[in-house]
Amino acid sequence: MNASTLNRRRFGAVAAALLAAPWAGARAQAPAPSLRMEVWKDPNCGCCGDWVAIMEKAGFTVRVHDVGNAGARRRLKVPVQLGSCHTAQVGPYAVEGHVPAREIQRMLRERPDAIGLTVPGMPVGAPGMDGPEYGDRRDPYDVLLIRRDGSTVVYASYFKDAKKA
């Protein structure tokens, strides 16, 4: 065996060992979708604070701006009629109102060509609008996907069997 063949074999063995190293595979994996979220809300709104706590518990890193949400809603192109008490941005998407974390995570996985998600108004039973202070009531509501043209489609429905109190 000549020196050139021996060097190639040694190089191959070293390269294989490096590729098998624990850190090699970690670098090659695709990054997870961003779970960073910015939220614009009124500083005195309790239900908004409750929703933020739910998002943090679901794994989102949340930065809160206590300045109201009208400017953020306009900037993110959420139609006024689809508004609620707080507006968030996660990745390229708007999240308006009391949208469940599960639907936000689904949107980040599916990556639809859309403005984002909304739960218009403040339906009782939605995240942040739930619990004993609401008599454990659960009104039916829809999570809407806001298309680029401002139209909507139902993305998920909650409590359709529930009766309004």
Alpha helices in the chain (DSSP H): 3-20, 22-28, 46-57, 70-75, 101-110
For 64-104, what is each residue's pLDDT tens digit?
999 999 999 999 999 999 999 999 999 999 999 999 999 99
Residue 145 contacts by C-beta under 8 Å, 6 or more apart in sequence? 107, 112, 114, 116, 117, 152, 153, 154, 155
CA distance 143 to 84: 12
| Enclosing H/E stretch for 86 | strand 86-90
Which amino acid, 93?
A: Y
Evaluate whether 52 touches 64 at the Cβ level (below 8 Å): yes
Evaluate whether 96 touches 73 at the Cβ level (below 8 Å): yes
Residue 157: which of 137, 139, 136, 143 has the closest Cα?
143
For 7-64, what is each residue's pLDDT tens digit?
445 444 444 443 443 333 333 344 445 689 999 999 988 899 999 999 999 999 999 9
Q: Compute, in degrees rounded to 10, the torsion defined by CA atoms 37, 42, 47, 51.
A: 0
1: pLDDT strictly greater than 70: no
Alpha helices in 58-164 (DSSP H): 70-75, 101-110
